């Protein structure tokens, strides 16, 4: 049986381009003991993958010749594991490929009652769990907090904005276009959204946070982390969850002056979502009902077929996506 997968063909020079990847055909063996053969239905593409390529990610590195990794929703084709049967939908780290085998212990059944199974990769998946862990468990966002969320229409940002809104907090987002900003306010419930390509960013932050920033969900690092740190309210919280602004750089960039944080008596949390896997059930039990009741919105930026994955990923790294980036497999 033949399988197609995407490998990294060479290290990107700065922003990745589609030519840095290659779709290759390989032989696909059947599943071994306790293993399950799956056919990919949806693949999640996320900024952290750029960090894997840069060799700086917690989950390990990807070098030229290596297969691209990622979380997917897939259909069981053949199972040597008692918990799974053919036709069943599962979630697991299948990677950028049409078929994969994983031990049954590395797979989870997709939650029943979802509008569409791809939600298992966004609101109910790693991006949703990241947002929940950062905003609810770490920063403990509460009614009245004014929260700054960058890339607010993206996967993590849009989940975070809605979770904060549900807690009674006021969200100011940033996004890369007027259209995205309108969506943030209308669909996600943000109080306002700053178009990061228009006008003076520092001045707009001053305007939207007259009393300072209570919570900043840092998904980007770089300039915005500096500007936000300079404007923190007393007893504020900063969750460090990503460094989008520097994933494409060869070197780690320095952070904001620590004096900003001392002055604000801030608490800063480093967030790695894998640590919160043991609490996923708790998160899903809260979110799934909200999702079923239509209280949460999830916009997806969906492309079709494995060939579309490299280009979709490069677009994501340029901020060209509008919503959570997912590749659908026919």
| Cβ-proximal residues to 229 (8 Å cutoff; 6+ apart), any chain | 216, 238, 256, 257, 260, 261, 264, 266
The Cα–Cα gap between 327 and 46 comes to: 11
User: Tokens at residue 280, please?
Assistant: 């996923």
Residue 268 sits in the site that holds a copy of itself (CB under 8 A): yes
Identify the bridge partners of residue 39 per DSSP, sorted by sequence position. 75, 99
- Rg (C-alpha) for the chain, rounded Å, is 20
> Among 4, 17, 39, 56, which residue interacts with a copy of itself (rule: CB under 8 A)?
56
Cβ(17)–Cβ(42) under 8 Å? no
By beta-carbon proximity to a copy of itself, the closer residue of 88 and 267 is 267
Residues 163-192 touching a copy of itself, rule: CB under 8 A, are none
Count of chain residues binding a copy of itself (CB under 8 A): 31
The Cα–Cα gap between 302 and 321 comes to: 9
> Among 15, 142, 179, 265, which residue interacts with a copy of itself (rule: CB under 8 A)?
265
Give the per-residue contact string, 203-242, with a copy of itself (x = CB under 8 A; - = no). Answer: ---------------x--x---x--------------xxx
By beta-carbon proximity to a copy of itself, the closer residue of 76 and 268 is 268
The Cα–Cα gap between 103 and 125 comes to: 20
**Rounded least distance, CB 191 to a copy of itself, Å:** 26
Residue 250 sits in the site that holds a copy of itself (CB under 8 A): no
The Cα–Cα gap between 224 and 255 comes to: 11
Evaluate the CA torsion angle 178, 318, 141, 288 in order and state its sign: positive
Residue 55 sits in the site that holds a copy of itself (CB under 8 A): no
Residue 4 sits in the site that holds a copy of itself (CB under 8 A): no
Give the per-residue contact string, 289-328, with a copy of itself (x = CB under 8 A; - = no). Answer: ----------------------------------------
**Rounded least distance, CB 185 to a copy of itself, Å:** 29
Residue 261 sits in the site that holds a copy of itself (CB under 8 A): yes
The Cα–Cα gap between 310 and 114 comes to: 28
What does the binding site for a copy of itself look like in residue numbers (CB under 8 A)?
Answer: 56, 58, 218, 221, 225, 240-243, 252-272, 275
């Amino acid at each position: 049986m033949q399988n197609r997968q995407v490998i990294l063909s060479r290290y990107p020079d700065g922003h990745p381009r589609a030519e840095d990847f290659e779709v290759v055909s390989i032989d696909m063996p059947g599943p071994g003991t306790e293993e399950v053969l799956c056919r990919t239905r949806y693949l999640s593409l996320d900024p952290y993958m750029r960090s894997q390529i840069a060799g700086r990610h917690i989950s390990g590195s990807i070098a030229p010749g290596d297969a691209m990794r990622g979380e997917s929703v897939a259909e069981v084709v053949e199972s040597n594991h008692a918990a799974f049967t053919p036709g069943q939908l599962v979630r697991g780290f299948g990677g950028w490929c049409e078929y994969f085998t994983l031990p049954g212990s590395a797979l989870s059944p997709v939650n029943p009652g979802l509008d569409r199974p791809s939600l298992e990769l966004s609101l109910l998946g790693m991006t949703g769990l990241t947002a929940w862990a950062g905003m609810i468990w770490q920063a403990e966002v509460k009614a009245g907090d004014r929260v700054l969320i960058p890339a607010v229409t993206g996967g993590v940002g849009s989940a975070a904005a809605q979770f904060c809104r549900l807690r009674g907090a006021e969200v100011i987002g940033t996004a890369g276009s007027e259209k995205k900003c309108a969506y943030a306010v209308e669909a996600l419930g943000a109080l306002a959204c700053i178009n990061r390509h228009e006008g003076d960013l520092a001045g707009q932050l001053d305007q939207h946070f007259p009393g300072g920033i209570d919570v900043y969900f840092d998904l980007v690092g770089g300039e915005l982390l500096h500007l936000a740190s300079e404007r923190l309210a007393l007893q504020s919280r900063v969750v460090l969850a990503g460094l989008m602004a520097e994933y494409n750089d060869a070197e780690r960039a320095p952070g904001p002056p620590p004096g900003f944080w001392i002055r604000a008596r801030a608490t800063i949390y480093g967030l790695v979502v894998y640590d919160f896997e043991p609490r996923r059930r708790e998160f899903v039990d809260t979110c799934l009902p909200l999702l079923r009741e239509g209280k949460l919105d999830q916009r997806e930026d969906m492309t079709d077929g494995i060939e579309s994955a490299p280009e979709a990923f490069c677009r994501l790294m340029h901020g060209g996506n509008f919503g959570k980036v997912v590749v659908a497999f026919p």
